[in-house]
Amino acid sequence: VHGGVHPNVRVRHLHNQMLHDAIIFHKMRGLGSLIASESSTSEQKLEALSKVFVCCLPSTHENKRFQDAAVKTNMIDILLGIILRPYPKTCRNQAFLALGSISFHNETASLRLGSNTDFVHHVCFVLSDETEQPDFQFAALNAVSNTAYCEEVHSVVQVLIPHVVKRFHSTAHLKLKGQIVTFLGLLAYNNHCRNTLLEANTLALFQSILSGQNHHLRPASAALSIANLGGCHDMKSLANREGDMSQYNRCVVVLVEQLVEVLDATVRGLDYPYGSVVYYTTWKVLRSIANITHIPEVRKLLLERDMLKYIRMSLGNEDSRTRAAALRILWHISIDD
């Protein structure tokens, strides 16, 4: 066949894909049976749980296929059965990690897990126990955070907000603190969560992280959250009441610098900060910046940092959300002479 692929080749390729999917499905079903079996030992369950976690990791080549197979084989309910019953903590910890791996950027898995109120309330219980091991709490919150990439679950998981804020202030565990910031940052994109976040005094939390610039605490997520919550307005109001605009001006400079650095990494497909394996979404970063471009000081700082270059790049993006956010920024910037 000239200028194309022979139909028989396409059929063979499709057949090979289906065969490979069937192999993955049976592998995942076998692991699920081992985990759920009353006759398997804790060591066998732990080994199977570890395999599920590794297979679904985003760093693996076929993680999406394994995630889909996990959903189809009812793996989520099997793992919830481990978490909600008195199995050894090592097994429950690994089950939390496996759930986080399965639901990461997988909408079907996220909806099924994040909308499960028994699961969310159990995580709430785990995070509220200040005697609980921080690594175990991290695993639990990581599972919820990975479902929060799907906005449809926010109405359920936002019940955790006051508990994670309290835990942030009571723990010195940097990895757990960073995960809390990530979770709150994901909810900050959703206007329906704004009041709950503000009532929990998250804005002060984000501002303290931004000024501290400890990379373990995800200052980039804090900056995006401030922008999404309209934090510049609150910072300026506070500065006016205290009669000290210098602190406000310093905060705005740090905020804009952080946002532009995140945007620069995101449009180039890089993690931020480098080596963190934390990736942001271009249209979400642009939308966050657009939320504060009505402020003259912000517009001035953005232009000084070559924001027009990023707008030009984004206007050529095939994602309509990216183009819309870029146009919104451009419209605000065009107000100035």
Give this prediction's pTM. 0.86
Q: Provide the pLDDT for residue 239.
A: 59
Alpha carbon 276 to chain centroid distance? 13
* Both structure tokens of 206: 């984000």
* Residue (of 176, 179, 172, 222) closest to 197 by Cα position: 222
Q: Provide the pLDDT for residue 21.
A: 86
Q: Are 156 and 197 in contact (CB under 8 A)?
A: no
Q: Provide the pLDDT for residue 279.
A: 86
CA atoms of 161 and 196, how far apart (whole Å): 7
Query: What are 7-52's pLDDT values in tens digits?
Result: 665 666 565 677 888 999 999 999 999 999 999 999 999 999 999 9
- DSSP characters over 176-214: HHHHHHHHHHHHHT-GGGHHHHHHTTHHHHHHHHHHHT-
Query: What are 221-269's pLDDT values in tens digits?
Result: 999 999 998 766 666 665 565 566 676 777 888 899 999 999 999 999 9
Q: Provide the pLDDT for residue 1.
A: 46
Q: Provide the pLDDT for residue 9.
A: 57
Instruction: Compute the average pLDDT of residues 214-225.
Output: 92
**Number of helical (H) and strand (E) elements in the chain, helices listed first:** 20, 0
CA atoms of 70 and 29, how far apart (whole Å): 8
* Both structure tokens of 114: 């994040």
Q: Provide the pLDDT for residue 184.
A: 96
CA atoms of 215 and 271, how far apart (whole Å): 13
Q: Which residues contact 78 (CB under 8 A, 6 or more apart)?
A: 32, 35, 36
Q: Are 116 and 79 in contact (CB under 8 A)?
A: no
CA atoms of 73 and 25, how far apart (whole Å): 7
Q: Are 317 and 323 in contact (CB under 8 A)?
A: yes
The Cα angle at residue 237 between residues 233 and 242, in degrees rounded to 5: 150
Query: What are 104-118's pLDDT values in tens digits?
Result: 989 999 999 999 999
CA atoms of 36 and 79, how far apart (whole Å): 8
Q: Are 141 and 127 in contact (CB under 8 A)?
A: yes
Q: Provide the pLDDT for residue 72.
A: 95
Residue located via tokens 């592998």: 27
How many CA within 13 A on the CB side of residue 174?
7
SS3 labels along 223-275: HHHHHHCCHHHHHHHHHHHHCCHHHHHHHHHHHHHHHHHHHHHHHCCCCCCCC
Query: What are 120-149's pLDDT values in tens digits?
Result: 999 999 999 989 999 999 999 999 999 998
CA atoms of 122 and 111, how far apart (whole Å): 17
- For a pLDDT cut of 90, what percent of the chain falls above it? 72
Omega prior to 88 cis, within 30 of 0: no
